[in-house]
Amino acid sequence: WLFKSTELVNPLFALLDAEFAHRLAVSAAAHGFVPREKRPDPPVLGIEVWGRNFTNPIGLAAGFDKNAEAVEGLLGLGFGFVEVGSVTPQPQEGNPKPRIFRLKEHGAVVNRCGFNSEGIVVVAKRLGAQHGKRKMEETSSSSDVKQGGKAGPGILGVNLGKNKTSEDAGADYVQGVHSLSQYADYLVINVSSPNTPGLRQLQGRKQLKELVKKVQDARDEMQWAEDGPPPLLVKVAPDLSKQDLEDIAAIISNTTISRP
């Protein structure tokens, strides 16, 4: 009934400015003013990816909770995973407003926020507090079986970005790894945003290979418990050329065992 009752509120959000409505939704989730899914996921929905157990395959992409304000509330809605970010090393405002636009006839939204972020320090404090709470719950629990990931009932992804004015993209992503990877069930290198000047140039074969190597080395040189370091993903643009895709595939995949 809680989920059904929110349908009555949704039309009111449509009357608000798009970005203000988004902020209001994040704040509601952060303060627990959203329904909570208490029914367990049917086992048939479970899936193991990258050595992580997802109770269901439906997740919330990066871009909604950019600053990790509402992780617990969003996971509590029933998502199998929530990805926060993109997080940049230094705080930045992003593009000028208005920058979120509704396409009512399509039931869709277009955004060009431009990596607006409160920065690594703020996000690390929030995720650290969430991680500590999770550890306390595990310690006090009578069950030996760990449910979910590092932040609660679902899997938590952390999406890393670079600052708009940064001249050393590699250093930005490495800083993100050092500060945030201990709180993540998986990490994402985001080189896909069309709203950050020069970012998509990192998708070139040479540039991406160097970037992934730097980030991977930074992750692997850290100390990890027995569950190991978080898997490393690369988020690429959806409108790459065939050659771009082949170059990226050559970097991020190993050789095939198929010999057709």
Which residues are part of the catalytic machinery? Answer: 193
Handedness of CA 235, 116, 127, 172 (dihedral sign): positive
Q: Which residues are registered as beta bridge partners of 102?
A: 109
Residue where the block lists tokens 């001249």: 167
CA end-to-end distance (rounded Å), the chain = 54
CA angle 225, 228, 233 (to 5 degrees): 145
Residue 227 tokens read as 């569950």
State how far the Cα of 60 lies from the Cα of 75, in Å rounded to an integer.
9
Phi, psi of 45 (to 5 degrees): -85, -10
Residue 69 tokens read as 């304000």
